[in-house]
Amino acid sequence: MKTLIKTIVLLSFAVSSLTFSNGVSANSGEHFEKAKIDMNNYGSLQNGAKLFVNYCLGCHSLKYQRYERLATDLHIPPEIVTKNLMFTANKIGETMSINMPAEDAAKFFGTTPPDLSLITRAKGVDYIYAYLRGFYQDDTRPFGVNNTAFDMVAMPHVLESLQGLQRKSDEAVFQESIIHESHSKINAIFARLDKEGADTAKLKREKAEAEEASHKAVEAIANLKHEGKYFQLVHKGEMSPEEFDNAMLDLVNFLSYVSEPVKAKRIAMGVWVILFLILLFIVTYLLKKEYWKDVH
* Rounded Cα–Cα distance for residues 11 and 275 (Å): 8
Q: Rounded to the nearest 5 degrees, what angle is found at the Cα of 28, between the Cα atoms of 22 and 32?
A: 60
CB atoms within 10 A of CB 40: 9
Q: How far is the CB of 162 from ligand HEC (least distance, A)?
A: 9
Nearer to ligand HEC, 105 or 277 (CB): 105
Using CB under 6 A as the binding rule, whether residue 153 contacts ligand HEC is answered as yes
Residue with nearest beta carbon to ligand HEC: 56
At residue 25, what is the residue type?
S
Using CB under 6 A as the binding rule, whether residue 118 contacts ligand HEC is answered as no
x/- map, 238-277, ligand HEC, by CB under 6 A: -------------x--------------------------
Q: How far is the CB of 37 from ligand HEC (least distance, A)?
A: 14
Nearer to ligand HEC, 109 or 281 (CB): 109
Q: How far is the CB of 149 from ligand HEC (least distance, A)?
A: 7
Q: Which residues of 196-227 are buried (b: 16+ CB within 10 A; e: fewer)?
A: eeeeeeebeebbeebeebbeebeebbeebeee
Nearer to ligand HEC, 108 or 285 (CB): 108
Query: Do 250 and 51 touch, CB atoms closer than 8 A?
Result: yes
Q: How far is the CB of 111 from ligand HEC (least distance, A)?
A: 5
Q: What is the footprint of ligand HEC within residues 86-115 (CB under 6 A)?
A: 109, 111, 113-114
* Rounded Cα–Cα distance for residues 231 and 224 (Å): 8
